[in-house]
Amino acid sequence: MDIFTIFPSWLVSTALVLSMSCMFLFTLRSNRSPMFVPKLPPSPPKLPIIGNLHQLLGMPRHQALWQLSKEYGPIMQIHIGSKPLIVISSPTMAKQVFKNQDHIFCSRPIFHATKRLSYNHLDIAFSPHNNHWREMRKILVSEFLGPKRATSFNHVLVTEIKSMVHFLSLHPSEVAVNLNELFLATVKGLVCKFAFGKSYTEQTLKGPSWEVMLDETMEMLNGSLGDYFPWLGRFIDQFSGWDSKLETCFSNLDAYIETIVNEHQNNTIAKLSDEDKDFVHTLVELSTIENDYGYRLTKEDVKALIMNVFTGGIDTTVVTMVWAMSEITRSARVMKKLQSEIRNCTGRIEKDQKLDIAKMTYLKMVVKETLRLHPPAPLLIPRESLSHCQIGVYDVFPTTTVLINGWAIGRDPETWGENAAEFYPERFENLEVEYGGRNYEMVPFGGGRRSCPAMNTAPTTIEFTIANLLYWFDWEVPNGVKNEDLNMQEEGSLVVRKELPLYLVPRKHMWED
Ligand code: HEM
């Protein structure tokens, strides 16, 4: 039986003509432009279902990715579950993301926790790239971080650091201080007094302390299984209690922020002078009047901005201060050199006088070196591509998540030489490297339009704090441990801190008469 007995002859001949035409068109097309075969970045071998997850276990994520990048190169593709991620680990590749193609890599991926905790992306840090993000960022830069409020910021900074020095001078001699706790209290006081008008230490509603709340929020922001394993992961998130933990975390944070906003709404802002208005007063005002930004803020917008200040401004600064004091204490040479700069620049002053750090060049190098080796957010905040493009010779597709390994970039031996892993602030003596500078040799604050808006102000806070600690006190590691043997292990994911809290013994500095 031939084919014509089953199908009518007209149908067979039409099908033949059609298929021959298709083949002809296909040949014509493939002769003109060969079929698009994407060139994907090198990728470590992956396992079914989990992808490369197993290669990221057992050590902090940025270190595991750094190890992989040594084998697979400064741009590689990995999979976590079903999600492909591009990982960038060199200044040259980072430049392509931050500068050449900043307009493509300026968005953020959507994760469950960031969506919930940012009031559905009304914030700056986790919002996709859109007009709302642009307006909110403008408001933060101009009304919180800009020169308008510099005098008031300096005033609060000096007051908080003075009370820190006072606390230390009353501390029993030979007893070690937990510097993690001290810095957390100081920076929280600084950020809250400056932004919210007072420290809001007490949580007015029933709930965890603000320290616990901040910790829980940072932990949630690390993400969940559901972000990478859409079906099974969402199921596990629900049944493991992750979803309800996120809800509790959100309602605690929201209650805390609500208190702050309500107190500011209840005050009669109109009666306050400009100097007496804090950041939240300004935000509340911007929500009641047609403002210069052409954007009328809602209460949720105000809350989302406060959430960014709370989560973006405190932990990062504290972690950097702890790393700075750990590195300085570990190196007797750096400690001695830095203390003589601070003390020589200042001379002998009374407790109520303020240190002038403007001329302390070595201090700036020490803080820069700390941020090079210990960027508190080692993988920055993930980016997402808006369209198809190429990084180097490799194709990157729209909505791909991009991780920039700032930790690896700061330790790249091609840029920093053989002693890249060593704490050596003098390397900046003849090097013009700026945070977020043109060549992206170190990127602790990221780069491009999504870089940290506090890039110019945050280092000053750290420098001023360290200068005061080293001017008024000498420091030692307790329990007979040698300074150079201080533990420097890291832990964490979004923000990486020193694994063990830093305990040091302060000794009041005695001036020779
Ligand atoms: C040592 C201190 C700090 C470090 C190392 C740091 C680091 C970073 C990094 C790495 C990013 C992501 C940049 C990128 O994607 O390219 C970022 C974003 C951000 N940071 Fe900071 N930060 C610090 C302090 C602060 C402070 C004090 C604030 C206070 C308000 C702040 C607010 C923000 C905000 C709002 C964003 C999101 C920017 C955007 O997506 O447009 N940061 N920060």
This model of the complex carries an ipTM of: 0.99
CA pair distance 167, 468, nearest whole angstrom: 13
pLDDT tens for 144-178 read 998 888 888 999 999 999 999 999 999 998 899 99
Residues whose CB is less than 8 angstroms from the CB of residue 153 and which lie 6 or more positions away in sequence, other chains included: 194, 457
- CA of 202 from ligand 1 middle (Å) equals 26
- Using pLDDT thresholds of 50, 70 and 90, give the confidence band for residue 267: low
CA pair distance 157, 164, nearest whole angstrom: 11
Q: Three-class SS of residue 427?
A: helix
Residue 406 CA: which ligand 1 atom is closest?
Answer: 10
Region 357-386: mean pLDDT is 97
**For residue 73, which of 87, 62, 54 has the smallest C-alpha distance?**
87
- Whether 157 and 151 have beta carbons less than 8 Å apart is answered as no
- Whether 436 and 380 have beta carbons less than 8 Å apart is answered as no
What's the whole-number average pLDDT of the chain?
A: 89
Nearest alpha carbon, ligand 1 atom 7:
445
Residue 319 CA: which ligand 1 atom is closest?
Answer: 1
Residue 383 CA: which ligand 1 atom is closest?
Answer: 15
Nearest alpha carbon, ligand 1 atom 27:
313
How many CA atoms lie within 13 Å of 359's alpha carbon, on the beta-carbon side?
10
Residues lining ligand 1, Cβ inside 6 A: 124-125, 137, 140, 308-309, 312-313, 316-317, 320, 376-377, 380-381, 444-447, 450-454, 458
Strand 177-178, strand 490-492: pairing: unpaired
Say if residue 189's pLDDT is above 70: yes
- CA of 7 from ligand 1 middle (Å) equals 69
**For residue 458, which of 145, 162, 198, 193 has the smallest C-alpha distance?**
145
CA pair distance 504, 176, nearest whole angstrom: 5
CA pair distance 422, 418, nearest whole angstrom: 9
The pTM of the full predicted model, rounded to 2 decimals, is 0.91
Q: How far apart are the first and last CA of the chain?
A: 117
Q: What is the largest distance, in Å, between two alpha-carbon atoms of the chain?
A: 117
Residue 309 CA: which ligand 1 atom is closest?
Answer: 30
Instruction: Provide the CA 111 distance to its chain's centre, in angstroms.
Output: 16
pLDDT tens for 393-423 read 999 999 999 999 999 999 999 999 999 999 9
Nearest alpha carbon, ligand 1 atom 43:
452
Nearest alpha carbon, ligand 1 atom 3:
316
CA pair distance 326, 333, nearest whole angstrom: 13
Pocket test for ligand 1, best of 130, 452, 456 (most atoms within 8 A of CB): 452
SS3 content of the chain, % helix, strand, coil (to 5): 55, 10, 40
pLDDT tens for 24-52 read 444 444 444 557 889 999 999 999 999 99
- CA of 494 from ligand 1 middle (Å) equals 12
- CA of 334 from ligand 1 middle (Å) equals 28
CA pair distance 377, 371, nearest whole angstrom: 10
CA pair distance 286, 296, nearest whole angstrom: 6
- CA of 229 from ligand 1 middle (Å) equals 28
- CA of 125 from ligand 1 middle (Å) equals 8
Nearest alpha carbon, ligand 1 atom 37:
125
